[in-house]
Structure 1
């Protein structure tokens, strides 16, 4: 059975739901977990309002503080559920790459993540990080919808 689960979290409602379901799986199988949060690099030309308002240093500092605070809350929730939890904050413009690399580096044997269910044109244009992880990962992936 799986011994170390990588839980990809982004703060969305679907991600939170998948995180909690993964904690149940981890507790029942005696596995430990690593929660990973991936944030994009700072870009001068961007569609994200937060980046337009900040200097590079401010954005980098605040993104790290926000992500680490969020991950600490996930670790506390895992601890309360009786599941050992490590955390990882990664900066990468391609979340799927960061998720796979983190899983490999941490020795995880299962990646757990949510699917936002984008379809049609939106799915083609935006792409699905979940689909990219499924396509490129050599580690099994469990997707919660």
Structure 2
């Protein structure tokens, strides 16, 4: 059914239910599992049209360094499950674009993501990475909703 499952993690505990669900599913059906963490491109948020600022580089470096701590926590959370972890920098792209590109590149059969389920003003302000991914991929996408 599913030969390769991609599960996304933003590095926070918010993603844990999606990670756990994807790991359980991968073990049950014998799928390959890839955990993807995308380091956001601070240039998109902080630039004024110039080249990447010192502040943006510092912020991105902090995200990369924080990812190593997050990965250690994820390894503990998914102990007993075989998986590959990928850290990808979103160079001049939105996180959803990178997730879609990686899903295509890896040839996954299923994408598993956590979602906040925001509505109203919160949805307008923050948007939805999960919604953006879901609208533009051709493989099934399983959203794990968690309030918080």
TM range (shorter): 0.7 to 0.9
Structure 2 CA distance for aligned equivalents of residues 38 and 140 of structure 1: 20
Q: What is the TM-score when the length of structure 2 is the normalising length?
A: 0.79
Question: Which residue of structure 1 aligns with residue 61 of structure 2?
Answer: 61
**Residue 50 (structure 2) aligns with:** none
Post-superposition CA distance 1:70-104 (Å, at most 9, x none)? 234424543x22x3211111222411111111111
- In 2, Cα distance between equivalents of 1:117 and 1:70: 23
Matches within 5 A, 1:40-51: 40-43=40-43, 46=46
Matched residues in 1 for 2:84 and 2:144: separation? 21
Deviates more, 1:5-14 or 1:65-74: 65-74
Partners of 1:57 and 1:126 in 2: CA distance: 22
1:44–1:23 distance in 2 versus 1, CA, 3 Å:
closer
Aligned residues: 136
Does the 8 Å CA contact 1:7/1:111 hold for their aligned counterparts? yes
Gaps spanning 5+ residues in structure 1: where? 47-53
CA RMSD of aligned residues (A): 2.2
- Check the 8 A contact 1:34/1:88 in 2, yes or no: yes
Taking structure 1 as reference, are residues 25 and 44 closer, same or farther at Cα in structure 2, changes over 3 Å only? closer
Match of residue 32 from structure 1: 32
Aligned equivalent of 2:125: 125
Runs of 4+ in 1 over 4 A off after TM superposition: 54-57
Cα gap change, 1:85/1:17 in structure 2, threshold over 3 Å: closer, same or farther? same
> Which whole-Å CA distance do the structure 2 matches of 1:127 and 1:143 have between them?
15
SS in 1 for 2:42: coil
